[in-house]
Amino acid sequence: MLTRRTVLLAKVETTYGQDASPTTSNAILCTNPELTADGKILTRDYVRDTISRMPHSIGRILVDVKFTTEMKGSGDAGSSTSIIPEVAPLLRACGLSQTIQGAAAPYTALYAPISTNFESATIYIYYDGLLHKITGCRGTFDCEMVAGEYGKFNWTMRGLYQTPTDASMISGVYQTSKPPILENLNLTIGTFSPVAKDFKFSLDNTLAEREDLNSPKGLKEIMITSRDPKGSIDPEAVTNATYEFWSKWENATEQSLSFVVGTANGNKFQITSSKVTFSSLKYADRNGLRVFDAGLTFAGSDDEFVIKFM
């Protein structure tokens, strides 16, 4: 099997754990997905007339899939369906709602945190002749953003195991847009526009197993039981007269954060928050410049942040 001959599909489920049957139109362009099947080994450690071990069984099985995608839009804001980005099923399976805005083009697709009615996704992974189907997937993600580069989503999805089967390789149908370069973002924290190279964001969902005697292998569901959004940024250090970083940190002052990546309708995305605080603040060096290494926390009530594709 060739490593590069890999196709990943994802589709939101109507009913949790029931195969949504994703097709080639549900393909997601990603790095090589790292799949790990975690089976609970049930040992049989009993005394006998021999010191040899007895054969074990495999109980509860769950599957983790990790991969990276580009941060980009669909490339088409002309309709309420075409604006939806390729990664939409993943965002929704990570505990974010999807809201399509606009009465006419250009439309926008908005993703925001929720605390009830979580959705799930079915993921198919074709490994050059072998097909893994993972149902009931929920997950979490983080973002990596470096000036002058493309933004990246790093995904960790967890779902229910099914025995893989042989299957003919397929050709995924992908959105053709290219990720916009991280430049001219108009990034602001509060009223200040910093000079920064890196921004990171982590959703940091807690994924928990819902165990059940009536379910196959004793596992009913993968649940999202909490989230702890956080991030970091590395602005150049400035005096208090320019911006009071230390005072903002000391007083845990809530601030707004906003930036827009891209300029073309259909291939722009925006991250905003009105409730960001500095969780840590220390000095660092970047090419001889003194900078801050600032930790960020995002708090609120299902309004910690919004991701908008537009």
Render pLDDT for 124-163 as a digit per residue (tens, 0 to 9): 999 999 999 999 999 999 999 999 999 999 999 999 999 9
| Contact assessment for residue 295 and residue 58, using Cβ atoms and an 8 Å cutoff | no
Per-residue pLDDT averaged across 202-208, rounded? 97
- At 11-21, the pLDDT tens digits run 999 999 999 99
Q: 205 falls in which pLDDT band (50, 70, 90)?
A: very high
Sequential DSSP letters for 128-146:
TTEEEEEEEEEEEEEEEEE
Residue type, 284: A
Tokens of 72: 């980009």
Strand segments (E) across 71-163: 96-101, 108-113, 121-127, 130-146, 152-160
Mean pLDDT over the full length of the chain: 96
In this prediction, what percent of the chain has a pLDDT beyond 70? 100
Query: Structural domain boundaries of the chain?
Result: 6-40+57-309
Residue 229: CB atoms within 10 Å: 21
Q: What is the DSSP letter of 105?
A: S
Given pLDDT bands bounded at 50, 70 and 90, which one contains residue 195? very high
- pLDDT band at 276, cuts 50/70/90? very high
Q: How far apart are CA 256 and CA 215, in angstroms?
A: 45
Tokens of 23: 């097709």
Section 52-64 average pLDDT: 91
| Mean pLDDT calculated for residue range 234-240 | 96
Contact 40, 59 (CB under 8 A): yes
The more confidently predicted of residues 10 and 2 is: 10
- What are 109-135's pLDDT values in tens digits? 999 999 999 999 999 999 999 999 999
What's the rounded Cα separation, in Å, for the pair 217 and 62?
10
Would you say residue 217 has pLDDT above 90?
no
| pLDDT at 277 (0 to 100) | 97
* The two three-digit tokens of residue 271, written as one number: 């991250």
Phi, psi of 89 (to 5 degrees): -60, -30
Say whether pLDDT at 98 is over 90.
yes
Provide the CA 177 distance to its chain's centre, in angstroms.
Answer: 19
- pLDDT score recorded for residue 63: 96
Q: Give the span between the Cα atoms of 30 and 106, in whole angstroms.
A: 27
pTM of the model: 0.95
Residues contacting residue 182 through CB under 8 Å, at least 6 positions apart: 145, 146, 147, 148, 149, 150, 151, 261
**Mind listing the pLDDT tens digit for each residue in 243-252?**
999 999 999 9
